C-alpha cells in the first residue's frame, strides 16, 4: 500500500505531465531532428592504412588511463569514467 508521500509524489508527477502535454499541444510545427547522411561509417584512419599512428594521441590517451600495464589499459567495465 503506497504511503501518503508516495501518493503525493505521483499526483505531482501527473500534474507536471499534464501541464507539459498542454504546452506541447500549443506548438504548431515541431521540426524533425533526423539527419540524413550519404555514408553511415567513418572512413579508414591514416593509422589503419599502415601509416604510423599519432604518438602524441597515444601518450595522452595512456596518461588519462587510471591503470596501465605496458601497452595495455587495465579497466573494469564502467569503471573508467
pLDDT the model gives residue 46: 55
CB 67 within 8 A of CB 75: yes
pLDDT in tens, 35-79: 777 777 766 665 555 567 788 888 888 888 888 888 888 877 776
Distance CA 70, CA 62 (A): 10
- Indicate whether 77 belongs to any domain: yes
Total domains present in the chain: 1
pLDDT in tens, 1-14: 789 999 999 999 99
Q: Cα separations (Å) of 37 from 34, 40, 42, 80?
A: 10, 7, 11, 32
Distance CA 11, CA 55 (A): 57
Neighbours of 74 (CB within 10 A): 11
Give the domain range for residue 66: 54-81
pLDDT the model gives residue 25: 86
- Indicate whether 18 belongs to any domain: no
CB 47 within 8 A of CB 53: yes
Amino acid at each position: 500500500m503506497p504511503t501518503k508521500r508516495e501518493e503525493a509524489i505521483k499526483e505531482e508527477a501527473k500534474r507536471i505531465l499534464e501541464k507539459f502535454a498542454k504546452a506541447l499541444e500549443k506548438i504548431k510545427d515541431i521540426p524533425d531532428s533526423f539527419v540524413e547522411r550519404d555514408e553511415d561509417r567513418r572512413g579508414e584512419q591514416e593509422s589503419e592504412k599502415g601509416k604510423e599512428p599519432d604518438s602524441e594521441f597515444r601518450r595522452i590517451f595512456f596518461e588519462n588511463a587510471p591503470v596501465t600495464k605496458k601497452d595495455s589499459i587495465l579497466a573494469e567495465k564502467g569503471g573508467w569514467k
